Amino acid sequence: MPFTLETMEEIASLHGEPAWLRKRRRSSFDAFERLPAPSRIDEEWRRTDVSGFDPGQYSKLEHLDGQKLVLPSTLPPGVILKPLRQAAQDHPDLVEPRLFSLVHADRDRFTALHAAFFTGGTFLYVPDGVVIEQPVIGQHFSHEGGTSVLPHTLIVAGKGARFNYLDEYIAEDGNEIGYRSGSTEIFAGEGSQVGYVAVQKWGRNAWHFADQRAELQKDASLRLFNVTLGARFSKTRVEATLQGQGADAELKAIYFASGEQFFDFHTLQDHQVGNTRSDLLFKGALQDVARTVYAGLIRIEKGAARSDAYQANRNLVLSDHAKATSIPMLEIDNNDVRCTHGATVGPVDPLSMFYLRSRGIPEATAKRMIVQGFFGDVLDRIPFEHARALVEAELEARLG
Amino acid sequence: MATVPKVDVGTDYKEKYGFFVPEDYVFKAKRGLNPEIVKEISWMKKEPEWMTKMRLRSLEIFRKKPMPKWGADLSVIDFENIFYYLKASDKQSTSWEDLPPDIKKTYDRLGVPEAERKFLAGVSAQYESEVVYHSLQKELTAKGVIFTDTDSALRDHPELFKEYFGTVIPPADNKFSALNTAVWSGGSFIYVPKGVRVDVPLQAYFRINAENMGQFERTLIICDEGSFVHYIEGCTAPIYSTDSLHSAVVEIIVKKNARCRYTTIQNWSTNVFNLVTKRAMAYADATMEWVDGNLGSQITMKYPSVYLMEPGAKGDVLSVAFAGKGQHQDAGGKMIHVAPNTTSTITSKSISKAGGRTSYRGHIKIYPGATNSKSFVKCDALLLDDESRSDTYPYNDVDAENVTLGHEATVSKVSDEQLFYLMSRGITRSEAETMIVNGFIEPFTKELPLEYAVELNRLIQLEMEGSVG
């Protein structure tokens, strides 16, 4: 197992990481060694086969310095935006209590590995009342195959802060093999408004694991959007905890799986207090022999009266051999709520197809138009223009 | 399959004949579960050797299988402290006076006749419907229909029995089907020949004697090509049972063009763990309908399923669950699409009250090759107060082309608008709530025979008043 304690110490010392972070890496490493590999008896992994994945094969860590940050031309005073490891040294008071407090290192072997060896990643701190008009963009590149790229994003929004952030995971070689994980923790303070978009475009043979978790205080609003296009295997957890009254989380995603791609999504809308709202919509199209698994849970805690939660997963199956699994779950412990969920799996609607064909549109074009239309209503929910244009262009390119 | 009974004295002599018969020649029930008890059950029933062996093999499987980790908490079941087989004479020990007062009160309020009450409470074994049963039996026999208890079927129709028993739900299916196969007793056996339609719903009620309300019932229904039968088990009035574990297995085979409807109204007393495996195989153009109501018990785990084996098969589950104080109803349905052009629907309605918990748990699996299949699942939950809980766990796996699958669920409380409307018409709050709940489960009630529907409505009324359980 080349992901060793020595490698880990090396990463830490190379960059002069503070003692608390080293200690944390070490305990994550212990968890990694201790935790068993997920087995098919585990409900979460029943349909998700990781038996063919050996992270040890990709233990060379790429670009320890993190990523390219596309900074807005001017940053308001007080805003901290720097590589996460740099921030750990410079602002331990802000980073130490939060890092891996939402995404727990000991949740499973892969989160533990990520927490022990994470390299790149961004820290963004926006103080109370500060607004950043232009979006902040973190681009995570992988330059070569056979390596690991493990960036971690930590976002802290102060009271009433308002900004948009985009994480872009980009492979230079579209066919690269490797281990990728991109995890994100978001602390949305009272009354803050945070837009977060993650666009995953790793190479088609990569293994990708992502844990995104947000915590929303009173009246905070989060608009989180995922786009999953790359990797042979991609497992993404998207979780939001609504901790303060009036919190509002919108969790949306689109995915387009083709070839032999396998995508897994696990989501959680955790309403801990009342008068909170969450709205989830995951839409995906599947082609060729691709497979997708969606499993989501709305959890309404006992006291969370007058919560409003919505959860939907829609799958458009474009080929004969693609497979989609959809498991939308509810656990409702309070009666004064509004909760609805729905799931659909289906082919292209023959009526729509007939309509388009009867207008003289060739079948391939008609199919593309239907797919575009299918994604259309979610694309409108991408929180800011830059990301929207990017995602539209990506989809356009992939639909051909 | 022809059976040649093997007489091989010597090798398995001890296993077959080496049991100990008590001096007074009366079977004394013992608690606990071991090969001796299983052998004794089989011996008591004078079963053929293959059944004894199957029971013993199932016991092994039961031992090996772990307890399910999902669903309700079953850790409190003490398998060693249960009577696995009781003769009729052992069962009638309960007296009317010993019944819990709430059960007696419910009988009163429901207006259940005295004789029927005693029967339901397990106090008496006789029930007037025997007369009905005898005239019905004559009619059925004329048509070639077999309707009997499962023990007699094994004795009287061994070939038919052996051909189908354990084929839909093999012992190794799950821990509780293994337990049932090891210690089963009672239940119904129905065979409907080709093209025969049974117009009267067959009710377990009709042929019940004290032996019937077993803990480990085993029901087997075979609908031959083009036939139809409607079977009803249970009843709306609460059934008092001192046994804490009930684990039944129901197997149904619906052949080409046949239709079977199986209606259950489960209302065990609230000390009972009710863990049931129900499954049907539906062949070409056949229809299987489960109408399943769960009102009683402490914990119910039950997911009636239909395997759609050949093109054109159709499966339907209509399920209602009511969970009051201390109850957990973990119910739902499964539809396994194996063949193309198959369709299925699951409709689930659940109501939780006074801290009760209802869970819908379902699985739609569409295998490769089951093209042009359609499946639709709808779950509605009503939470009557903020102590109660409702969960939905639907698993949808689509592995075939051109399949349409939909799932929808809502969780809500009794709406203020509806309440306001009714109350503004001078109806009291509790009456209004009852009306709304009755309206909510109406899609279920209207599928029931009239007398059941009436009783169910009355029962919901009682539950809503909080006077029961």
pLDDT reported for residue B210: 38
CA distances from A76 to A79, A128, A192, A221, A243 (A): 6, 12, 16, 21, 28
pTM here is 0.84
Residue B127 has pLDDT above 80, yes or no: no
A39, HSE (Cβ side, Cα atoms, 13 Å): 3
Asked if A344 and B398 come within 8 Å (Cβ–Cβ), the reply is: no
Judgement on whether residues A207 and A356 belong to the same structural domain of the protein: no
Residue A87 has pLDDT above 70, yes or no: yes
Give the residue with greater pLDDT, A119 vs B103: A119
CA distance, residue A294 to nearest chain B CA (Å): 9
Residue A265 has pLDDT above 70, yes or no: yes
Q: What percent of chain B has pLDDT over 70?
A: 78
What DSSP line would sit under A183-228, residue for residue?
A: EEEEEE-TT-EEEEEEEEE--TEEEEEEEEEEEE-TT-EEEEEEEE
The token pair at B65 is 């299988």
Q: A176 with A202: CB under 8 angstroms?
A: yes
CA distance, residue A158 to nearest chain B CA (Å): 34
Identify whether A238 is part of a domain.
Answer: yes
Give the residue with greater pLDDT, A59 vs A371: A371
Residue B211 has pLDDT above 80, yes or no: no
* pLDDT tens digits for range A118-151: 888 899 999 999 999 999 999 888 887 788 889 9
Residue B213 has pLDDT above 60, yes or no: no
pLDDT reported for residue B111: 64
* Residue range A268-278: mean pLDDT, rounded: 96
Q: What percent of chain A has pLDDT over 70?
A: 97
Find which of B69, B358, B383 to mutate to test the A interface (most A CBs within 10 Å of its CB). Answer: B383
pLDDT reported for residue B102: 67
Residue A226 has pLDDT above 50, yes or no: yes
Q: Which residues of A touch B384 (CB under 8 A)?
A: 335
Domain end among A203, A218, A244: A244
Residue B124 has pLDDT above 60, yes or no: no
- Work out the pLDDT band at B392, boundaries 50, 70, 90: very high
* Chain B residue with minimum CA distance to A331: B391
Domain end among A212, A244, A276: A244
Q: How many CB pairs under 8 A join A and B?
A: 109
> For the stretch B310-322, what's the b/e string if a residue is b when 16 or more beta carbons lie within 10 angstroms of its beta carbon?
bbbbbbbbbbbbb
pLDDT reported for residue B86: 63
Residue A124 CB-density burial (10 A; 0-12 exposed, 13-18 middle, 19+ buried): buried
> For the stretch B286-304, what's the b/e string if a residue is b when 16 or more beta carbons lie within 10 angstroms of its beta carbon?
bbbbbbbbbbbbbbbbbbb
Q: B407 with A326: CB under 8 angstroms?
A: yes
Residue A66 has pLDDT above 80, yes or no: no
* pLDDT tens digits for range B58-67: 999 999 999 9
- Work out the pLDDT band at A228, boundaries 50, 70, 90: very high
Asked if B381 and A332 come within 8 Å (Cβ–Cβ), the reply is: yes
Q: What is the DSSP letter of B315?
A: E
Identify whether A174 is part of a domain.
Answer: yes
Residue (of B205, B233, B202, B238) closest to B218 by Cα position: B233
* Residue range A7-23: mean pLDDT, rounded: 84
Residue (of B275, B259, B66) closest to B175 by Cα position: B66
Integer-rounded Cα Rg, in Å, for chain B is 22
Please tell me if residue A350 touches chain B, with a CB cutoff of 8 Å.
Answer: no
Identify whether A154 is part of a domain.
Answer: yes
* pLDDT tens digits for range A373-396: 999 989 988 999 999 999 999 988
Find which of A45, A315, A318, A335 to mutate to test the B interface (most B CBs within 10 Å of its CB). Answer: A335
B163, HSE (Cβ side, Cα atoms, 13 Å): 10
pLDDT reported for residue B202: 86
Number of structural domains (chain A) is 2
B384/B433 Cα distance (integer angstroms): 9
Q: How many residues does chain B have?
A: 469
CA distance, residue B378 to nearest chain A CA (Å): 9
Q: Which amino acid is at B323?
A: A
Q: Which residues of B touch A43 (CB under 8 A)?
A: 70
* pLDDT tens digits for range A342-364: 899 999 888 999 999 999 999 99
In chain B the first and final C-alpha atoms are separated, in Å, by: 49
* Chain A residue with minimum CA distance to B401: A320
pLDDT reported for residue B303: 96
Judgement on whether residues A78 and A211 belong to the same structural domain of the protein: yes
pLDDT reported for residue B187: 84
Q: B207 with B149: CB under 8 angstroms?
A: yes
* pLDDT tens digits for range B76-92: 888 887 777 765 444 44
Residue B122 has pLDDT above 80, yes or no: no
Average model confidence (pLDDT) across chain B: 82
Identify whether A339 is part of a domain.
Answer: no
* pLDDT tens digits for range A326-345: 999 999 998 888 888 989 99
Which residue of A323, A332, A341 is in closest CB contact with B389?
Answer: A332
* pLDDT tens digits for range B178-192: 999 999 988 889 999
3-state secondary structure A294-359: EEEEEEECCCCCCCEEEEEEEEEECCCCCEEEEEEEEEECCCCCEEEEEEEEECCCHHHHHHHHHC
Alpha helices in B93-165 (DSSP H): 101-110, 114-120, 129-143, 150-156, 158-164
* Residue range A255-269: mean pLDDT, rounded: 96
pLDDT-wise least confident of B16-20, B319-323, B389-393: B16-20
Which residue of B368, B391, B402 is in closest CB contact with A332?
Answer: B391
Average model confidence (pLDDT) across chain A: 91
- Work out the pLDDT band at B426, boundaries 50, 70, 90: very high
Provide the ipTM: 0.78
* Residue range B307-324: mean pLDDT, rounded: 95
Give the residue with greater pLDDT, B65 vs A8: B65
pLDDT reported for residue B84: 78
pLDDT reported for residue B254: 97
* Residue range A76-83: mean pLDDT, rounded: 92
Instruction: Give the three-state DSSP class for A153.
Output: strand
- Range among B125-139, B235-249, B399-413 with highest mean pLDDT value: B399-413
Residue (of A177, A88, A81, A87) closest to A126 by Cα position: A81
Please tell me if residue A373 touches chain B, with a CB cutoff of 8 Å.
Answer: no
Residue B268 has pLDDT above 90, yes or no: no
pLDDT reported for residue B23: 35
Residue A9 is inside which H or E element, if any?
A: helix A5-14
Asked if A343 and B392 come within 8 Å (Cβ–Cβ), the reply is: no
Residue B457 has pLDDT above 50, yes or no: yes
Give the residue with greater pLDDT, B302 vs B134: B302
Residue B464 has pLDDT above 80, yes or no: no
* Chain A residue with minimum CA distance to B410: A340
- Work out the pLDDT band at B44, boundaries 50, 70, 90: confident
- Range among A21-25, A177-181, A277-281, B379-383 with highest mean pLDDT value: A277-281
* Chain A residue with minimum CA distance to B384: A335
pLDDT reported for residue B431: 87
Asked if B409 and A335 come within 8 Å (Cβ–Cβ), the reply is: no
> How is chain B split into domains, by residue range?
88-420, 421-469
| Residues spanned by the domain of A359 | 349-400
Domain end among A244, A268, A294: A244
pLDDT reported for residue B114: 62
pLDDT-wise least confident of A225-229, B149-153, B352-356, B447-451: B447-451
A224/A238 Cα distance (integer angstroms): 9
A369/A160 Cα distance (integer angstroms): 40
Residue (of B320, B208, B225) closest to B263 by Cα position: B320
Q: Which residues of B touch A292 (CB under 8 A)?
A: none
* Residue range A221-241: mean pLDDT, rounded: 96
Identify whether A275 is part of a domain.
Answer: no
pLDDT reported for residue B145: 94
pLDDT reported for residue A102: 95
Please tell me if residue A177 touches chain B, with a CB cutoff of 8 Å.
Answer: no
Window 80-119 of A: residues touching B by CB (8 A cutoff) are none
Identify whether A383 is part of a domain.
Answer: yes
* Chain A residue with minimum CA distance to B388: A333
